[in-house]
Amino acid sequence: MCNGQANRVPAAGPARPTIPEVRSHIPAEVSARSLTFGLTVFLATMILYCATVAAALLAPWWPLQVACAISTALFSVTFFVVGHDACHGGLTPYARLNKVLGRIALLPSCTPFVSWEFAHNRVHHSYTNLRGKDYAWAPFSKEEYDRLPRLRRWLEHHYRSVTGFGSYYLIEYWLRHLVFPSRKERQEMQRPVTFALDLALVLAFMAAQIWALYAWCNTLVPSEGFWGPFASFPALLLTVILLPFLAWNGGMGIAIFLHHNHPRAVWYANRQEWDFFSGQVESTVHAQMPWWIDWLSAFIMQHTAHHVNSRIPLYRLAESQRRLERAYTDEIIVEPWRFSTIGKTLRRCKLYDYENHRWLNFKGLPTTEPDATMREFKERGLRRGR
């Protein structure tokens, strides 16, 4: 059981579903890990990622190089989810193999394995949507926002806009918690040597990419004509390495935002109000994507099942999610994908009123009604204690 996810029930009134009760809706045969499936998914994704990198280098026209670079970013997302699964111990049945495969799969996104394991597994999954613990897209209250320096308020406006997803993940998550975690976070990881080695592995991968690209550019002849391929080192560095990495950050920022920011999603600042069911089931969103996005994202948008049991492998998430939604039809947030979905959520989910449990805009005006479940919970004076 994850830290902080103890079974909790109210002091009075109907008992809330416990962790075993929720997980019982996904039988072992549905969520079983497979060595064959795990290795197949890993190898297929790695081949697709490498193929798009090679295509970006060999394409005969620069627009095709750019298109291949964007494809590299897409398969970086898929490869990352494979590594994310391995980090949870869900890709294959073997712990040591998962650690090896996970480290390899996280390299294209330049993610150190141990710091991701700490930030994601031990923090985010243990305290989902609990303010002060879970920092992944945690909204400020109006009072907290008003106390921020002007630059930080501007950044919050930028982050919660269509153009700000990549900036948020790059600055607030990747840099602050994965590459340069605070001293407190490093102490809580309790694995300083392993973190240093994982960070060195990421830096070595980045250096190897740049050196190999430089060596490749020395073999190329500058192209003639406007549509010819990029051949200079700066142009290819921008196209083949920097563009996919920035696009990856944008995709990751969008995914995390959609997972836990929604007009119906509740955030908590009071530990007495929060429990496993409220964070993992009621406040974790299933964003229903077109089939091709589901495949490219390795089914990670079927997110409730993943939070209920993070060891369910990606190749079992769809069936697991269906079973949970049949069991908790009213509790699970299901958001059918539309192009307008992100914009609508962004407009309504700026700040959060933790007292009345409703979303606000940056002026502090409510954009949603107070959450009915939490209103009843407070009116009855219940407590979700350990």
User: Does 4 reside within a domain?
Assistant: no
User: Does 131 reside within a domain?
Assistant: yes
User: Does 2 reside within a domain?
Assistant: no
User: Does 219 reside within a domain?
Assistant: yes
Which pLDDT value is given to residue 14?
A: 60
Which pLDDT value is given to residue 15?
A: 76
Total tally of structural domains belonging to the chain: 1
CA-to-CA dists, residue 195 to 35, 184, 375, angstroms: 27, 14, 43
Q: How many CB atoms lie within 10 A of CB 227?
A: 11
User: Does 38 reside within a domain?
Assistant: yes
HSE, side-chain direction, 13 A CA sphere, residue 292: 1
Which pLDDT value is given to residue 268?
A: 95
Q: Nearest 5°: phi and psi at 377?
A: -60, -45
Which pLDDT value is given to residue 379?
A: 64
Can you give the pTM of this predicted structure?
A: 0.91
Integer Cα distance of 173 and 195 in angstroms: 16
Integer Cα distance of 131 and 268 in angstroms: 6
User: Does 159 reside within a domain?
Assistant: yes
Tens of pLDDT along the chain (386 residues) come to 344 443 333 334 467 899 999 999 999 989 999 999 999 999 999 999 999 999 999 999 999 999 999 999 999 999 999 999 999 999 999 999 999 999 999 999 999 999 999 999 999 999 999 999 999 999 999 999 999 999 999 999 999 999 999 999 999 999 999 999 999 999 999 999 999 999 999 999 999 999 999 999 999 988 778 899 999 999 999 999 999 999 999 999 999 999 999 999 999 998 889 999 999 999 999 999 999 999 999 999 999 999 999 999 999 999 999 999 999 999 999 999 887 888 999 999 999 999 999 999 999 999 999 987 777 776 666 656 44
Q: Identify the domain containing residue 140 by its residue range.
A: 9-380
CA-to-CA dists, residue 374 to 278, 305, 332, angstroms: 10, 23, 15
Which pLDDT value is given to residue 381?
A: 61
CB 217 within 8 A of CB 236: yes
For 334, left (φ over 0), alpha (ψ -120 to 50), or beta?
beta
Which pLDDT value is given to residue 222?
A: 85
Which pLDDT value is given to residue 224?
A: 78
User: Does 386 reside within a domain?
Assistant: no
CB 286 within 8 A of CB 309: no
User: Does 1 reside within a domain?
Assistant: no
Residues 6+ apart with CB under 8 A from 106: 80, 83, 84, 87, 112, 113, 116
Beta strands in the chain (DSSP E): 9-10, 285-288, 333-336, 351-353, 358-360, 384-385
CA-to-CA dists, residue 356 to 19, 186, 268, 274, 379, angstroms: 26, 35, 10, 14, 11
Which pLDDT value is given to residue 374?
A: 79
- Nearest 5°: CA angle at 90, between 262 and 281? 30
